[in-house]
Amino acid sequence: MGFELRGIEIELYGDLDPARLFGTSFDNRAGYKQIIVKIKPDCDADEETLAKWIESVDNRCPVSDNIQNTTPIKIELK
């Protein structure tokens, strides 16, 4: 995209109700209600280029795809 990425900082956090995880309540789902990803690139790209870049990152990211879409999970006891 015409810029050099010298480094990157990524901060992840989210909202989670641990009650179901620990078996104290089953009122809410076990997963995160929201996941926030803050990305701070070390580069000299302008805001417009970075907006296109972050859209491309989100579009191509397999983890983001799995979280945003239903993905079958098979849990096996071995």
pTM: 0.72
Is 36 part of any domain? yes
**Of residues 58, 33, 44, the one with CA closest to residue 6:** 44
Which CATH number goes with the domain that contains 46?
3.30.300.20
Domain count, the chain: 1
If 0-12 CB within 10 Å is exposed, 13-18 middle and 19+ buried, where does residue 17 land?
middle
pLDDT of residue 47: 96
Q: Residue 73's Cα: distance from chain center in Å?
A: 18
| Parent domain of 64 | 7-68
pLDDT 10s digits, 20-46: 999 999 999 998 999 999 999 999 999
